[in-house]
Chains A and B, each alone.
Chain A
Amino acid sequence: MSETLLSVQDLRMHFPIHKGLLRRQVGAVKAVDGIDFEVLKGETLGLVGESGCGKSTTGRLVTRLLEPTGGKIVFEGQDITHMPQGRLRPLRRDMQMIFQDPYSSLNPRHTVGAIVGAPFRIQGIKTEQGTKKAVQDILELVGLNPEHYNRYPHEFSGGQRQRIGIARTLALKPKLIIADEPVSALDVSIQAQVVNLLEDLQNELDLTYVVIAHDLSVVRHISDRVAVMYLGKIVEIADRKSLYTSPMHPYTNALLSAVPVPDPKGPRRTRAHPAARRRPEPDQPAAGLPLPHQVLEGAGDLQDGRTAPRAAGQRAPRRLSLPRERAHRHPRARDHHRLTVGAPWPGWPRSVPHSRLEPTPATERPPPRG
């Protein structure tokens, strides 16, 4: 059994909403609202969900770019939830991030050498043959020409820039890499190159990934386990195969059946499920509340005592969390727990027709190295 590299317990990030003359807090946007997951050494955890579900916030919390408002983050046995920046800095060597936009995440005034060499400089690390040699080795590792050491980011294409970003991430041989939409800004053919590169690097350097993405097919390709997020909560987490072949949560099902099939004669995507239309829009966070729970009103008392703050225009406090009782373990789950939460509201059908996914077992990747 592999050891746990990262463990997140009941993590919360509530951004306050201030209103009025006194800037009093009138509510909160619950971007991340009590999530638990573990990442084992050597595995890839995919984090999917629609925009505004809190997946990027989760990535930023785990790397401590944001200070969580609740919960616990344990990295390699150390509680880093509220660790001060000074003590956190040495840990940053082991925990790095790949950003989505290769255009804005590289300083246009710095050369590739300076960008990829920055981690050495900041961490005060001296290498045997000097930083330049180390940087060139890394450039070569990610498929760039080491002679491009003195070039500037604008001289590179999008795919190459993303490789520069990955080189910088890898500079200090981190243990955990959080990749926030690593390929979504790239062209299709380049996406595949970067996905393959990430997989090769994982095999070569024994990396652990948390890949945050909205593209379900990319996530299936790259992940060992997948967590589906919806409105700040994880609604389903399972190993790749069982999540994609037999999704348990209606939301996962709705997501999967919305993906268009690249096969003109193949079974048609089922029409958009009417339930999906009721999804709250991320740019109307004033309510500060996930919508489906509104529909849950009257479905029973609050199960765990969490109530929603009263936000503007709201009539009554609404249920915020799904009843814990309805969460159940999936019998098919073996090593990892598979948590699904009951239907978000009555009337969301338990299963949306989902004919496209073949139930036959996919070729498995070797189990994560421990």
Chain B
Amino acid sequence: MTAFLDVKDLRIHFPTDDGLVRSVDGLTFSLERGKTLGIVGESGSGKSVTSLGILGLHKGGRARMSGEIWLDGEELIGASADHVRRLRGKKMAMIFQDPLSAMHPYYTVGDQIIEAYRIHHDVTKKVARKHAIDMLGRVGIPEPTSRVDDYPHQFSGGMRQRAMIAMALSCDPELLIADEPTTALDVTVQAQILDLMRDLQREFNSALIVITHDLGVVAELSDDILVMYGGKCVEYGAAETVFYDPEHPYTWGLLGSMPRLDRERTERLLPIKGSPPSLINVPPGCAFHPRCPYAERTEGRAETEVPELLKTSPGHLVRCHMAPEERRRLWESEIKPMLETT
């Protein structure tokens, strides 16, 4: 029995004048209906490229994709562009980060939702319009009957994001990918959007992928978490496992970098040194080793050998050269106390 969404060894490479950009390099994960996967990572870690890859939005000439993407028993890589286009909207949909650039400025919000709906449903404009109004109302746009004829610029940031969600959900997609859905929004608006996404997911029982760098958002929505670094998955597991028993030094770094409101204020943040690698020159061996404080514990393997993504406990995968016992010991004795006290 395969999962609803099954991604196996996905690779998305872009040949450029400066060299091959390995944006996604061997990513494997699966997702069931009604569940949420959070993909976390810094800019340039390959999060967004992954999501566009699943939707088949990379231009064939530019991107080299390999691996397998099974959506509800259908292989998407290698499928005809026309076929994938028919799936987009109905079977899978995406909420983009910046709704202003994702919506067409010349068409009213309603027209754009109606267009999406009519592509997948053989209905009259009138019925589709009613549906669009209904969707806008569902996502909490006040007076949807009149706002349906507004242009995107007449909406505020939060409302535009809601309209984007309405558009993405208009055909009840079974897989919804949200790429930084709340990054550009204020906290109070973010809270509403998060509530909305959770409610709608419950209602439609859709599978949800949330891509973000905000660990708070991930913790709130996700069942599983995938941490990406340099185009590869470095840690993958249930949300509780990744938050309470993380084993990868990069995950530790992310947790230590973030000031937290739910704990006492720490005297110092514990940042990760250096900066994220360029995907053209991913460091040899473990991509994280130049920034890893524990790289010397691997007897030089970190610089030469790419670590495997190995299972350390049921459902918990980590890509690190250190022995699992050593990682757990470090986390329990050094990292965790530092994050929780001072």
A residues contacting B by CB (< 8 A) are 50-51, 157-160, 187-193, 195-196, 199, 214, 216-218, 220-221, 240, 244, 254-256, 258-269, 271-273, 276-277, 279, 281-284, 356-358, 360, 362-363, 365
Q: Is the beta-carbon distance between A358 and B269 smaller than 8 angstroms?
A: no
The one of B190, B191, B239, B271 that contacts A196, using a Cβ cutoff of 8 Å: B271
Known: A216-B187, A261-B216. A358 touches B257 (CB 8 A): no
CB-CB nearest in chain A for B42:
A187
CB-CB nearest in chain B for A222:
B259
Q: Is the beta-carbon distance between B261 and A264 smaller than 8 angstroms?
A: no
The one of B140, B191, B257 that contacts A188, using a Cβ cutoff of 8 Å: B257
Known: A187-B276, A188-B254. A356 touches B261 (CB 8 A): yes
Among B243, B261, B271, find the residue whose CB has the most chain A CB atoms closer than 10 A.
B261
Q: Is the beta-carbon distance between A255 and B268 smaller than 8 angstroms?
A: no
A25 to B86: give the CA distance in the assembly, Å: 53
The one of A193, A276, A363 that contacts B188, using a Cβ cutoff of 8 Å: A276
Among A189, A214, A265, find the residue whose CB has the most chain B CB atoms closer than 10 A.
A189
The 8 A CB mask of B260-304 against A (1 = contact, 0 = none) is: 111111111111110110000000000000000000000000000
- State how many angstroms separate the Cβ of B186 from the closest Cβ of chain A: 4
Q: Is the beta-carbon distance between B42 and A260 smaller than 8 angstroms?
A: no
The 8 A CB mask of B25-62 against A (1 = contact, 0 = none) is: 00000000000000000110000000000000000000
> Which residues in B have their C-beta under 8 angstroms from that of A255?
187-188
> Which residues in A have their C-beta under 8 angstroms from that of B213?
187-188
Known: A159-B275, A187-B43, A255-B187. A263 touches B264 (CB 8 A): no
Q: Which 4 pairs of residues, A with B, have the shortest CB-CB distance?
A: A192-B271, A260-B216, A281-B156, A192-B257
A193 to B267: give the CA distance in the assembly, Å: 14
- Kindly specify which of B75-83, B217-225, B317-325 makes contact with the partner chain: B217-225
- State how many angstroms separate the Cβ of A215 from the closest Cβ of chain B: 8
- State how many angstroms separate the Cβ of B328 from the closest Cβ of chain A: 19
The 8 A CB mask of B238-252 against A (1 = contact, 0 = none) is: 011001100000000
Q: Jot down 28 A-B pairs with beta carbons below 8 A, ordered by A.
A: A50-B186, A50-B187, A159-B275, A187-B276, A189-B254, A189-B272, A190-B275, A191-B271, A192-B272, A195-B259, A195-B269, A196-B271, A216-B187, A221-B266, A244-B261, A258-B188, A259-B187, A260-B217, A261-B261, A262-B215, A262-B218, A262-B255, A264-B219, A264-B243, A272-B188, A272-B192, A281-B159, A283-B156
Q: Which of B201-234 contact A (CB under 8 A)?
A: 213-220, 222
Q: Is the beta-carbon distance between A261 and B257 smaller than 8 angstroms?
A: no
> Which residues in B have their C-beta under 8 angstroms from that of A267?
262
Q: Is the beta-carbon distance between A357 and B188 smaller than 8 angstroms?
A: no
A255 to B190: give the CA distance in the assembly, Å: 11
A276 to B190: give the CA distance in the assembly, Å: 11
Q: Is the beta-carbon distance between A268 and B220 smaller than 8 angstroms?
A: yes
A216 to B262: give the CA distance in the assembly, Å: 11
Known: A187-B213, A259-B216. A264 touches B257 (CB 8 A): no
Let me know if B181 is at the binding interface, CB within 8 A: no
> Which residues in B have their C-beta under 8 angstroms from that of A263?
219, 243, 262
Q: Is the beta-carbon distance between B259 and A189 smaller than 8 angstroms?
A: no
Let me know if B258 is at the binding interface, CB within 8 A: yes
A214 to B184: give the CA distance in the assembly, Å: 11
- State how many angstroms separate the Cβ of A183 from the closest Cβ of chain B: 10
A157 to B276: give the CA distance in the assembly, Å: 9
> Which residues in B have their C-beta under 8 angstroms from that of A284?
156
Known: A190-B275, A277-B192. 5 other contacts (CB 8 A): A50-B187, A188-B42, A193-B271, A266-B262, A281-B156
A216 to B265: give the CA distance in the assembly, Å: 12
> Which residues in B have their C-beta under 8 angstroms from that of A279?
188
A244 to B262: give the CA distance in the assembly, Å: 10
Known: A188-B257, A188-B258. A260 touches B220 (CB 8 A): yes
